[in-house]
A and B are shown apart, each in its own frame.
Chain A
Amino acid sequence: MSDTPLLKIEGLTKAYPGVVANDDVSFQIMPGEVHSLLGENGAGKSTLVKMIYGLVRPDSGSMSFKGAPFTPSEPRAARASGVAMVFQHFSLFEALNVAENIALGMENPPKQAALAARIREVSEAYGLPLDPDRLVGDLSAGERQRVEIIRCLLQDPKLLIMDEPTSVLTPQEVEILFHTLRKLSEEGTAILYISHKLEEIRAICDEATILRLGKVVGTCTPRETSAAEMAELMVGKSLAKPGRSDVTHGEVVLKVSGLSVEPASPFGTPLRHIGIELRKGEVLGIGGVAGNGQDELLAALSGEATTAPGSVTLEGEKIGALGPNERRARGLLCAPEERLGHAAAPDMSLTENALLTARGRKGLARSGFINWGKTRSYAEEIIRDFDVRTPGPENAARSLSGGNLQKFVTGREVLQGPTVLVVNQPTWGVDASAAADIRQALLNLAQEGAGVIVISQDLDELLEVSDNFAALNEGRLSNVRATSGLTMETIGLMLGGAHDMHEADKEALHAGA
């Protein structure tokens, strides 16, 4: 490793009004190296990567690429130099096929037939199976990511940047991706890998640079460092692992049987014969890759989508045909995945957002007239009890960071004392310490005797909090298994759709409980 680094960054600084996103950041990447950027949300990873990709200009500092000064003024210039990037959020058109989507991102796209042949060639060479003629709307999240990766590989990049690439993948798909990345690395392509999943970084990365509050706080060789050590470097303090003292399950409190729902939109997922039995004190984790019916399941439980009365039963009462507020009144509360626009109204204040779901249970309105004083105190209670960082309840929801808003939304439901709480992606995009707080709150709720359903794509989270586990695949729910003793391989098979287990003996559902 004595030759010149592929990318060398020295003293990069970028300030935004009120915050220094990157402060004197330096590191380097050798050809063929898999380098990880580690840090919590808001640590400055995105800004740094955007500067390398030409989306943001640094205030000061310098970059060199293959020994020559590197100042990309726009992504096109960065791509021309050999830098490619796979974003966390895909920019694909669902109504076009794979080859058409890839052609759209190219400067001089070849003819469709030639391009399709190239796509097949590259996808086989790197072990990323992909049919160029399929519509993107029909692809899974993992396959969509392959489209983005192949789009990059066609440019023959020297440096490939990947932003949180595994958040939408099953364990098996992660293996395929890692296989591809290792092959690229052997061929001399450097990879800048952004993630906060420490075990993955230990599995694939050669070097890691750790950022905290915009500064480089350390570097390490992930293979030789434990996940706990890296987490401490990232957060700056040691984290308590969420847990609870004893696990006892009471009688069945929520029963879902034969729940089938047609999707509201053409690209939605229909739910098919979902069956769930949730007991008091139980935390049921529902895993699954994005777009397999998570939103639809939450809507069917929250009452946004109504069904036959008998398909959802709460404490013996048939509630399938009731709307959201009637279900809340009976103790079934939900916190959807999308914080801004679904769980909370972005432009409304936190006080107004407290009213959104707590009106009935907290008695915040009498004969239709809102008691703003009481609503405000409830918002303050949530802010205090859940350590929401905000100047006060009069601030708009959109002014809060993702983690703080998630704490507010979770707190709003938890403090209403639900009989059953359903959360979807409770810690998505939330920094590690806030995530730990939220998980602890869910466990405390179960400890007090509530039934909790956690729908999540983060398997580590599910294994940490849930007693029982089921997987959602193409709108079908797998058999429920006790979490203890589950291997990643079993989970992967469940996520991939082991439908044969579906008709299994219903009595076995809670065998592990």
Chain B
Amino acid sequence: MLVLEKRPQPSKGWIAATPVLAVVLTMIAGGLMFAALGKNPVEAIRIIFWDPLFNAQFASYARPQLLVKAAPLILIAIGLALGFRAGIWNIGAEGQYIMGALAGAAFGLYFYPTENPLVFPGMIIAGAAGGWAWAMIPAILKTRFRTNEILVSLLLVYVAEKLLASAATGWLRNPDGRGFPGSRNLSQIEAMNNPELIANTGMHWGVVAAFIAVIMAYILLNRHILGYQIKLAGQAPRAARFAGVRPTRLIVLCLGTSGALAGLAGVFEVTGPAGQISIDFNVGYGFTAIIVAFLGRLHPVGILLAGLLMALTYIGGELAQLMLTIPAPAIQAFQGMLLFFLLAVDVLSNYRIRLKREGLA
């Protein structure tokens, strides 16, 4: 009989090894799923993980996409991880992402037409403020009325989606767009464009922001008292109060930071890769970032790697849909497996499995 035995302290080796093990298990289980769908599992796995980077035919398109897709995931996940470490569960990053994009775009388009170089920085600040403000709603409701931030932040995603639809079809619609929904194309306006900084790399300002966020979060969590308080509040709330941590301040801070970072991701997206506010410019980065945060063990460097890996499965998944006609839900299930296995093998870092000769009657 197998028994779980609690380790005296978490195993450092397993903490590092579990994400790798989870990826391997996902490949096996995903392979079985693809086989059950009548596809060649080895080929499918190769197309998802290998071809986007190294296949001569696809790599020139796919490699830059890696950074483009990873940047918003990393940016959002870094913010979420701070809250998750403190036991503050912001599930509504998707809504904050949309609101950031809307606020940024609205700020820029208010000045249209313009060539003022300060407009783009202004849009970035407006985007961060938009995401921050949207996250303040669950923060204030939680601190004032003890509402559950999981529910409030999640439901606000649907409110944000409605606002997005009204903006795309109404108050932000391109007046010269012959009635089609969608705003002016921001990426084609000089003063509002988030360009590719180095050709054929996918590097844009959002990628730069994501890297900065990783470094800042690393310093915050490892060197600064605030990061210590965040970890303390998550692990031992009573000890945190004893150490003088004010829960209200931490809730406002963590939700605010994650909202602002999600808002930043949103404004970088609509001014760059997406190009404009449209009804469905958001593709679920806010939700996928939750997986990225956990896959990266809520650790900044881990999130950087997990964001790249997740982006790879997106690009590879699209490729697999194209090449092998694997249905899109199967790709999503594949990504879901990654989180599933990670959480399942996570138990190994705190427990060891032992074989017991005799079972209890």
Contact = CB atoms under 8 A, between A and B. Distances in A.
A359 B9 CA distance: 24
A341 B239 contact: yes
B10 interface: yes
B242 A304 contact: yes
Interface stretch (A92-100, A273-281, A362-370, A489-497): A362-370
A297 to B, nearest CB: 14
Contacts, number: 79
A398 B244 CA distance: 22
Given A73-B361, A399-B9, A352 B228 contact: yes
Contacts of B5: 17
Range class of the B interface residue count:
20 to 34
A347 interface: yes
B9 A369 contact: no
Interface in A292-350: 302-304, 323-326, 328, 334, 336, 338, 341-348
A336 B223 CA distance: 27
Contact of B242 (A17, A74, A356, A396): A356
Contact of B223 (A304, A338, A369, A398): A369
B231 interface: yes
Interface residues of A, number: 37
A396 B10 contact: yes
Contacts of A357: 242-243
A369 B224 contact: yes
A183 B225 CA distance: 60
Given A345-B236, A370-B224, A396-B9, A57 B358 contact: yes
Nearest to A352: B228
Contact of B235 (A338, A343, A348, A369): A348
B159 to A, nearest CB: 34
Contact of A304 (B10, B228, B232, B241): B241
Which of A328, A338, A342 has the most C-beta atoms of chain B within 10 angstroms of its own C-beta? A342
A399 B228 contact: no
Contact of A73 (B228, B231, B241, B360): B360
A96 to B, nearest CB: 26
Contacts of A368: 224-226
B125 to A, nearest CB: 24
B225 A336 contact: no
A17 B355 CA distance: 13
B46 interface: no
A345 B232 contact: yes
A398 B238 contact: no
A357 B228 CA distance: 12
A440 interface: no
Interface in B198-240: 223-226, 228, 231-232, 235-236, 238-239
Interface in B44-64: none
B13 interface: no
Given A73-B361, A346-B236, A356-B242, 17 more contacts: A17-B5, A73-B360, A302-B242, A303-B244, A323-B244, A324-B244, A338-B238, A341-B238, A341-B239, A343-B242, A345-B232, A347-B235, A356-B243, A368-B224, A369-B225, A372-B223, A399-B8
6 contacts: A57-B360, A334-B242, A342-B239, A370-B228, A395-B8, A395-B9
Interface of A: 17, 57, 73-74, 302-304, 323-326, 328, 334, 336, 338, 341-348, 352, 355-357, 359, 365, 368-370, 372, 395-396, 398-399
